Amino acid sequence: MSAESAEPAAGQDGSAEPQGGLTPEQESFVEKALANLLAGPYDKVSITMPSALRERIAARAVDMNFSAYVTEVLEREERRRSLKDFLDYMDELYGPPTEEELAKTDKKIEEMWARYEDYLSQQSS
């Protein structure tokens, strides 16, 4: 709950989402988060990095050029940070997940992972 408002954040009263869906502020945040995930036109840039790091990256980037590899790594990091920003924002709106919600999620992930492992074992048979 913010200092500016005496009302609970959406969802803290037990409802699954704010009345009427996302607010314009929420929609704007989601649109910006999604825009960060999409690639745009390319720019040529120059960076400075330790020689040992450049050598390790070059060794890993055998299937693609150096720039493509670095771009892929940076895109992955940007997606991770954007997701973290989004989750932090959702925590502000709804509060952090409860232990019960986390336990349910962990159980669901374990079930999905087990199904995936079964799928992989069937593919290798």
* Averaged pLDDT, 75-101: 95
pLDDT for residue 15 is more than 50: no
Q: CA-to-CA distance for 23 and 29, rounded, in angstroms?
A: 10
Query: What is the DSSP code (8-state) at residue 22?
Result: -
pLDDT for residue 105 is more than 90: yes
Looking at 10-24, 38-52, 56-70, 75-89, which range is the least confident one?
Answer: 10-24
> pLDDT-derived band of residue 10, with 50, 70 and 90 as boundaries?
very low
> What is the structure's pLDDT at 1?
40
CB 73 within 8 A of CB 80: no
Task: Give the residue ranges of DSSP H helices in the chain.
Answer: 24-37, 51-60, 66-94, 99-124
And the tokens for 63? 């299937």
The residues, any chain, with a CB within 8 Å of residue 78's CB and separated by 6 or more, are: 36, 37
Average pLDDT, the chain: 82
- The pTM score is 0.53
CA-wise closest residue to 22 among 36, 33, 13, 11: 11
Q: CA-to-CA distance for 53 and 61, rounded, in angstroms?
A: 12
CB 89 within 8 A of CB 98: no
> What is the structure's pLDDT at 64?
82
pLDDT for residue 19 is more than 70: no
Residue with token string 């159980």? 107
- Which amino acid is located at 96 in the chain? P
